[in-house]
Amino acid sequence: MQLGLIGLGKMGGNMRERIRRAGHTVIGYDRNPEVSDVSGLAELVDKLEAPRTVWVMVPAGAATQSVIDELGGLLQPGDTVVDGGNSRWTDDEKHAEELGAKGIGFVDAGVSGGVWGLQNGYALMVGGEAEHVAKVQPIFDALKPEGPYGYVHAGKVGAGHFSKMVHNGIEYAMMQAYAEGWELLEKVDSVENVREVFRSWQEGTVIRSWLLDLAVNALDEDVHLDKLRGYAEDSGEGRWTVEAAIDNAVPLPAITASLFARFASRQEDSPQMKMIAALRNQFGGHAVESAKK
């Protein structure tokens, strides 16, 4: 299968490689000419055989809207656009309507896997009409982890990004719990090797997880996280999760508190946020700030 892929950053570049390894043809475009296969979107579309499938992996909001607008003028009826970024689900409904008026299909895909996706595969949460999803299925199969799990057609347009949003909200709360436990262990005199306590939890406990494994990786690199500043950004999806909870009258105390903790990290050098920052760097390659000397 042929695929046009727009956005070849940390995730997009690895996705291109994983799809190619599965035997598909990927024509990629990025503003960085050193990694791009073509000079622009027009050339990308021109190199694809109809019916075309184009996957967008650019930042949510204005950047995605700009690409969608340009593709709407280049693609033809019967083509399909996939938004694999972290767009808000309400934007998906708008994009599907805009493209649908031109006979172009639209699929939203929440993608999880970060910098480890090339090796482990990407978890995919997909929204859209069944006929449009089916056109992209070979690519989904190439990207997902081996085995029966890691892919779901979650529902209609917007369902994929809404599901990924909730996934990230849960991720916020899980990271916050590990961070709080780590800070408490570091605080008391009786516990002399916090890193090894975390390591001991990796087998045989009910809190073992990939996030715990990544926490141990981070502590192996910096045993007390002294090199990090206790500052953590939020991607937007945590906020959207809390907003959706308010709109639907669903109580989310743990997720909401974890979001507010990140806000607090921007006021002082928070020990807990050192662990949050370390975990975000481990699983997603997100930037960290060095501790002030």
pTM comes to 0.88
Q: What is the domain partition of the chain in residue ranges? A: 2-156, 165-271
- The secondary structure of 49-67 as a DSSP string is PSSPEEEE-S-TTHHHHHH
Look at residue 140 in the predicted model and tell me its pLDDT: 98
Q: Same topology for domains 2-156 and 165-271, yes or no?
A: no
Lowest mean pLDDT among 7-11, 113-117, 120-124: 113-117
Q: Map tokens 């990140």 to a residue.
A: 262
Q: Which runs of E-coded beta strand occur in the chain?
A: 2-6, 25-29, 53-56, 80-83, 105-112, 123-127, 151-155
What is the number of other CB atoms lying within 10 angstroms of the CB of residue 285? 15
pLDDT in tens, 190-226: 999 999 999 999 999 999 999 999 999 999 999 999 9
Cβ neighbors of 66 (< 8 A, separation 6 or more) are none
Structure confidence at residue 270 as a pLDDT band (50, 70, 90): confident
Give the architecture-level CATH label for domain 2-156.
Answer: 3-Layer(aba) Sandwich (3.40)
Give the architecture-level CATH label for domain 165-271.
Answer: Orthogonal Bundle (1.10)
Residues with a known catalytic role: 164, 171
pLDDT in tens, 39-58: 999 999 999 999 999 999 99
